[in-house]
Structure 1
């Protein structure tokens, strides 16, 4: 980095990422034009802090000083997104080396870096499934300087509004999820992702399991988890945290997704159940559940999933997925459409308890009632 630039770059810890940003946001002047000598400053606007103080997300752009005038206006360029992950020193002490929550968060950022560094974003883009593209990366969450991810800004592609809970918006989100799920339907995933996607999966939520008040659901939880982990068909790439806060509506009505910390393998219905529980308008969900699942299943087939994956199979996966997410909420705290999820879960457990009279245990009941 030249001395003249070093005093102006404040937001980036990495010289490499600073040069990436400058290179990508500047363009040569038109033929025949003349421009004054310009200084360069990287402008940053903090968008949000990461959960539990693990870093920040900012929108960054190059600003030229002084601003240009006339036909060649270089004062504004398309922005990029900078995700800086650096757990506070107090969270990196030796006492936390075995802390499940801390380790889960560290791994989630490593997974996200692996996702953006893989071929997945480009393959999704080829199917018009919009996600950020990696511009550059530096470091790792366990390094002293932390991890920096420089990403394309979905705002530049017209995705400027947060998803609402309306039926139209939720259907658009389900269509995006279907494209993602169809792309890797029953395919091997790239290395570095979660072997079991979704931040609430049981293996990393044993303290919430112990804290559950619904003892019937608590008893069934390990068998529900096994059904989801060991399914013999329909495994695919999941977003893993597909809620309204991580989805944007575009000018054309399409949806883009970001925040892939918990992406990995699983049944697509897990993303669907979480979206509907977390982000769908309550009245819409009560009246339109079947219609919403029809929309998702039709989008799966249109995106290339074989018709051997039937609507009934989706329903079975969905029922188990709702009960599994209710398991997490029962031990962690209820939010979103928890009342609806509780009611649907009780229907699932009633059916399983009836089947247990002949099958003997939860696993046998699940195998009897739900397709594998």
Structure 2
């Protein structure tokens, strides 16, 4: 397939809603040539079209001829056979399918108080629309541009201000809690880890076509190659600490941790973003309100898994700890606790504190830190590395945590 013209794709999809394309500017080329993200301007050709866009964008223009800022995410990947596709390619392709499902089917259920782009059109729902033959084989989504209301963008591997950190925690708490009680009883339609999902599709079984069964892209089931490298890395302290056996079980510490974090129908499980970092958010100018984007790895999990990456990669160290000097082992500091308590209080405000007790929440948080350290140790450390390692050393040496983990695993057996 030749590379698609974003202008043509945008024009076709806008026409489904009586909109004309005014401009289309490439903002970003996606990793490894998988497609584009473009800023587009659309003009309403009827009052009905304008009213629809007004509602979607949260503005009041209301007349034909009004223009609206939108985003086109266009996926046209390099051709690879699914029979021998590598895990990285499969992960990317499935993630784009998941993201499109999220914008088309999940976002309308979240409510207007959770800042996330609303979808105007997608190739997922193009059957019967004019031009669908031209778009076959593409994954394209047109959505509202968040930047007019959230003009400050996070930077790659940058830290947030204290106000932005609080805004991010409030957004995450609202997002995580909103899905409580709204998840389906059957998980058959959720997408399995890449290699398992590919095998299921090749075997003619049920196809996962919703969100990831396990949110994120760092969980152990999808990072076995990196884990095997860590097992063999005799120079890393984390090889023995995380890859060695856990008590008398045949599983390693990392494998037991992964088992504990795997979604199993617990009431506090929710949707998680899966890739929380400063690069994937916009804020208002005062930093108090946040909007996240890039939902390629949205799926089920414990909300603390989102927090583990946020704290390590985007929260200033001086918010987490009072002293820049970090000991070899570090218990939870006052700054870390204050952030966690803010998140949890927002999370359970409609359910009551007993719904997710602090004791359980804290153990889940500690386990998420251990799991995140496993990924970084096998992939490469970045962010508040010394803080993360010091926290995980402390957690691993805590007999209370180890007893809790063992008891939790035994109860799942």
Is the shorter-chain TM-score for this pair beyond 0.5, marking a shared fold? yes
- 2:406 is aligned to 364
Aligned pairs for 1:143-162 within 5 A: 145-156=137-148, 158-162=149-153
1:200 and 2:218 correspond: yes
Instruction: Tell me if the contact between 1:355 and 1:365 (Cα under 8 Å) persists in the aligned partners.
Output: no
- 1:183 is aligned to 178
Deviation at 1:12, TM superposition (A): 3.1
1:234 and 2:255 correspond: no
- 2:130 is aligned to none
- 1:217 is aligned to 242
Residue 98 (structure 2) aligned to one of 111, 128, 139: 111
CA RMSD of aligned residues (A): 3.0
- 2:302 is aligned to 267
Out of 181-190 and 283-292, give the one that drifted further: 181-190
Distance 2:6 2:401 in 1: 63
CA deviations over 1:199-247 (Å, ceiling 9, x no partner):
1111111011112232221231110001111563411111111111111
Deviation at 1:41, TM superposition (A): 5.2
Deviation at 1:251, TM superposition (A): 4.2
Instruction: Tell me if the contact between 2:263 and 2:269 (Cα under 8 Å) persists in the aligned partners.
Output: no
Distance 2:103 2:274 in 1: 15
Instruction: Tell me if the contact between 2:23 and 2:40 (Cα under 8 Å) persists in the aligned partners.
Output: yes
CA deviations over 1:309-355 (Å, ceiling 9, x no partner):
12222211111001101111111111111221111111111125x87
> Does the C-alpha gap of structure 1 residues 261 and 305 become closer, same or farther in structure 2, counting only changes over 3 Å?
farther
Out of 335-344 and 183-192, give the one that drifted further: 183-192
Deviation at 1:301, TM superposition (A): 2.4
> Does the C-alpha gap of structure 1 residues 350 and 321 become closer, same or farther in structure 2, counting only changes over 3 Å?
same
- 2:58 is aligned to none
Distance 2:137 2:213 in 1: 27
Distance 1:196 1:170 in 2: 25
CA deviations over 1:101-123 (Å, ceiling 9, x no partner):
111111111111111121x3123
Unmatched segments (≥5 aa) in structure 2 = 45-62, 126-134, 190-209, 231-235, 244-251, 323-334
- 1:31 is aligned to none
Deviation at 1:155, TM superposition (A): 1.5
Aligned pairs for 1:12-161 within 5 A: 12-13=8-9, 16-20=12-16, 23-24=18-19, 42-62=22-42, 77-89=67-79, 92-93=80-81, 96-97=84-85, 99-118=86-105, 120-126=106-112, 128-138=113-123, 145-156=137-148, 158-161=149-152
Aligned pairs for 1:193-342 within 5 A: 193-212=211-230, 213=236, 214-215=238-239, 216-218=241-243, 219-229=252-262, 232-251=266-285, 253-287=288-322, 288-302=335-349, 304-308=350-354, 309-342=356-389
Q: TM-score, normalised by structure 1?
A: 0.79
Secondary structure, aligned partner of 1:44: strand
> Does the C-alpha gap of structure 1 residues 348 and 371 become closer, same or farther in structure 2, counting only changes over 3 Å?
farther
- The number of equivalent residue pairs is 325
Deviation at 1:139, TM superposition (A): 5.7
Out of 315-324 and 164-173, give the one that drifted further: 164-173
Instruction: Tell me if the contact between 1:13 and 1:145 (Cα under 8 Å) persists in the aligned partners.
Output: no
When Rg is computed on C-alpha atoms for both structures, the one with the higher figure is 1
Distance 1:321 1:186 in 2: 23
CA deviations over 1:117-141 (Å, ceiling 9, x no partner):
21x3123233x1110111101169x
Q: Which runs of 4+ in 1 moved over 3 A?
A: 73-76, 93-96, 230-233, 365-368
Instruction: Tell me if the contact between 2:70 and 2:142 (Cα under 8 Å) persists in the aligned partners.
Output: yes
- 2:195 is aligned to none
CA deviations over 1:173-206 (Å, ceiling 9, x no partner):
0000000111112542595110010111111110
Secondary structure, aligned partner of 1:169: helix
Q: TM-score, normalised by structure 2?
A: 0.71
Distance 1:41 1:117 in 2: 21
Distance 2:304 2:99 in 1: 21
